Structure 1
């Protein structure tokens, strides 16, 4: 089957041009100038009119947690529901995290995640590996996983007794990555200090959701980020700092990058738009003060008065925020977030955004915060390079997978769970309820198959395939 996408403006990370895109089967085979004489010789099976619209690579969300166990419950999106929601929002590839906790074998967990995702995904998927227990066996597994297309490994400086690795363990994992070419991903918060602050707050009777963020201050994030940067410098390992929310932590990342170190920063839509101030004032008839639990995530939201949100947009433009992912880890209010009523420390940490990332970042284009090209760069192209997918993913070019989004800048998207609003994640609330977006995802192709059109989702469970990743293509 051949598909011709006509009349649109193809946007890449480096520029925009009017071009028609020809797809044969699952692959892009040509970009043609509008009115090209070559078009006269082509009879496409399907023609998509993209006049007045942007044609961009399918989005790559490099940080999701489908069906992830956490705090006595499990993320509410399955691989089926979560990837379907992603398709609605123009994301055509996710990179999810296999979780190894204490007492578990890495390879057993990889097999479990393949079982969870296999045959269930609407879009293509790949895996990172969480190393929750650094020992001789897991270090050996890191080497083995490189050959299986799992080439990045996440460690934690937070969650003592669950995921936290000591500095010595981090050095061992970094040394292994420096030797095998893998990428170290790091959750940077000083977990031991945070645990003390949490206990002190609870003893003072400060139990509401707002205090989740107060007890995870920016200093704890900056300190851990600095420590991770220094350990990476010591070992020569590349470092990717996940979900950065504090401007001070990003300043440290920028400093390391200016010195020529392979250090990269990721942020998420919630840190660009949401803040502690809104969480403080959140209340509802149904949930009362627990309403703020909808926005409990780690790292936490930051104070708007301190200027974190504006600083993060600036760091996107300087390139020190390398990618924008979601850290999609959804939980329902009923039976999940409400576990933390009266004790914020028991609220499952996570926000659901996999469906809305492309739209929310396009709003930044509309508002003049970033360029069209930067939008494509941080949402599509650099994630592909960062995670060893570029060439196949993240670009509209001959030979690449036909993962393509037709985006209407004159369209409109209303986010929320009410009638006429966009929300297809498996959650009983939306963290983005009432948000209005000046743009709209019209058509989504995954490997040449239309999975979303103007009538809605037309994809199917099982279309998505596991993608083996190469080593990061973004290192200097």
Structure 2
């Protein structure tokens, strides 16, 4: 059993603070600082060089890195899709998040066909509230357009759901035609909301799928061949053109961007003054299409698909340059049985539920392959994992920073801890990980959520249902 590095000091005299973090080496977007952090009532109360006031509990963080609690702006808990519901409910999914230093997830409300937005919001909140260990916010998926949907957009925003997701793919399920995309982006923008876009050309993808199936080409690798790079690039260019017609007040981000060219399109608009942004995911930075050719390639089916090593390199370059705005996991977990449709044989690629685990792996993947390898700085790490998501989803300055008055949300990293990633060291409700066997250096060893230690050295100690809904406010974007 590993001995905890934490030194707890109980004081008997009158207390000033609830928690005092000593010998902190913290990182923010403006650089590192060393000193102490005092916490009261779940908030950062004081930051100083050597705080002497008493506290109920003191934790010595010598030798560790402290960063703002990560914000995973892209999770799908209890997500109904392709005839299945994801294996991670809000309890298991938020446990995995907490273990990975993610103190806030932003999940996607997914209305059923014909369901209005407000009733879907209530259902998602009721599902999440009794289960979450992390704090959480919500996005709203819109899959159809009618008068009631349009009327409810400002009502949903008033409930703190300030970001929406629209799909250009998954024909006959979630995909919207261009005219409806235009109408929704305009309506969301009128009330100050943010529009997220799944950018792939669903019409052509559907044709390619049918072509491959008719030729008997059904292996998982054909998931990639049916969704080539150009499908994302074309859709990104098209939606950027549509949104730019509405005006520069539109706030839009392209989720799970997998190609450098799509990033470049959005960056070019941003340089012209548009508030357009990109998100990418850890798997696009570390895995490639070869994983789809393995016997367990079905585990690696997600959309957009894994790309070439050339595209991986392009994404790292753009992450380092600042062109990629956020990192989100797209945590959408299906068990082996679900992925294989409860059969011995792997089903045709178009029948495999799309999605992979990831929220617990953002920190070690980005820290090791990004920071340790010298590609990005710690400041950039903080920017894309907490500061920018907080600004984009209206959570800043309550979340995403280290300053007095903000929530005391932290991930504590042992920068030298070496770990071989496997399902055994993770906390999701499945028996595999897409990062199996990867050896990383740098690991989250403690998570503090609103001043409470909720994870320490492999153990999630935060209680089920102790997380809170954090309503989004006006996004803060330059």
Question: Alignment RMSD, CA only?
Answer: 1.3
Determine if contact 1:101/1:162 at 8 Å carries over to the other structure.
Answer: no
- Among 12, 15, 18, the alignment partner of 2:28 is 12
1:270 aligns with 2:273: no
Tell whether 2:466 aligns with 1:460.
no
Measured after TM superposition, the shift of residue 338 of structure 1 is 4.0
User: Does residue 265 of structure 2 align to residue 252 of structure 1?
Assistant: yes
Q: In structure 2, what is the equivalent of residue 352 of structure 1?
A: 357
Please give the per-residue CA displacement for 1:231-277, whole angstroms capped at 9, x wherever unaligned: 11011222110000012211211211222211100000000000102
User: Where do 1:420-431 residues align within 5 Å?
Assistant: 422-431=425-434
Separation (CA, whole Å) in 2 of partners of 1:113 and 1:336: 24
User: Using the alignment, how far apart are the partners of 1:174 and 1:457 within structure 2?
Assistant: 40
What is the alpha-carbon distance in structure 1 between the residues aligned to residue 224 and residue 377 of structure 2? 31
Q: Deviations over 1:419-475 (max 9, x none)?
A: xxx21101121111111210121211111110011362211101101111012112x
Distance 1:314 1:135 in 2: 42
Q: Report the secondary structure of 1:438's partner residue.
A: strand
The 5 Å alignment of 1:39-58 reads: 39-40=51-52, 42-58=53-69
Contact 2:117 2:156 (8 Å CA) reproduced? no
- Describe the SS at the equivalent of 2:447: strand
Taking the TM superposition and a 5 Å limit, the aligned residue runs for 1:329-368 are 329-338=332-341, 341-363=346-368, 364-368=370-374
Output aligned runs, 1:218-233, within 5 Å.
Answer: 218-233=229-244
From 147, 151, 155, the equivalent of 1:144 is 155
| C-alpha contact 1:101 1:133 (8 A) present in aligned 2 | no
| 1:318 Cα deviation from its structure 2 partner | 2.0
Deviations 1:159-192 (Å, cap 9, x if unpaired)? Answer: 1111111111011111112210000110000001
Pairing of 1:359-438 with structure 2 (within 5 A): 359-363=364-368, 364-418=370-424, 422-438=425-441
* 1:300 and 2:310 correspond: no
String of CA shifts for 1:354-389, please: whole Å, max 9, x gaps.
Answer: 111111111110111111111111011111011100
CA distance in structure 2 between the partners assigned to 1:48 and 1:455 by the alignment: 17
Q: Can you give the 5+ residue segments of structure 2 that lack an aligned partner in the other structure?
A: 1-16
Selected match of 1:318 from 303, 317, 321 = 321
Residue of structure 2 in register with 1:286 after alignment: none
| TM-score of the superposed pair, with normalisation by structure 1 | 0.94
Do the aligned residues in 2 keep the contact of 1:4 with 1:48 (CA within 8 Å)?
A: yes
Is the 8 Å Cα contact of residues 84 and 338 (structure 2) preserved in structure 1?
no
Say if 1:132 and 1:165, in contact at 8 Å, map to a contact too.
yes
Q: Which residue in the other structure is 1:287 paired with? A: none
Match of 2:476?
473
Report the Cα distance in structure 2 between the residues aligned to 1:92 and 1:105, rounded to whole angstroms: 29
Secondary structure in structure 1 of the residue aligned to 2:337: coil
Secondary structure of residue in 1 paired with 2:130? coil
Paired with 1:43 and 1:406, the residues of 2 have a C-alpha distance of: 22
- The 5 Å alignment of 1:105-144 reads 105-144=116-155
In the alignment, the residues of structure 2 paired with residue 332 and residue 348 of structure 1 have an alpha-carbon distance, to the nearest angstrom, of 10
- Aligned position for 2:3: none
Gaps of 5+ in 1: 284-290
Question: Aligned partners of 1:105 and 1:2: how far apart in 2?
Answer: 43
Give the distance between the partners of 2:77 and 2:253, measured in 1 at CA. Answer: 21
Counterpart mapping for 1:147-186 below 5 A: 147-186=158-197
Provide the C-alpha distance between the structure 2 equivalents of 1:53 and 1:238, rounded to a whole number of angstroms: 37
How many residues align? The count is: 457
Q: Report what 2:104 is aligned to.
A: 93
SS at match of 1:52: coil
Residue of structure 1 equivalent to 2:252: 239
Q: Does 1:309 align with 2:305?
A: no
For residue 31 of structure 1, report the CA deviation from its aligned partner. Answer: 0.9
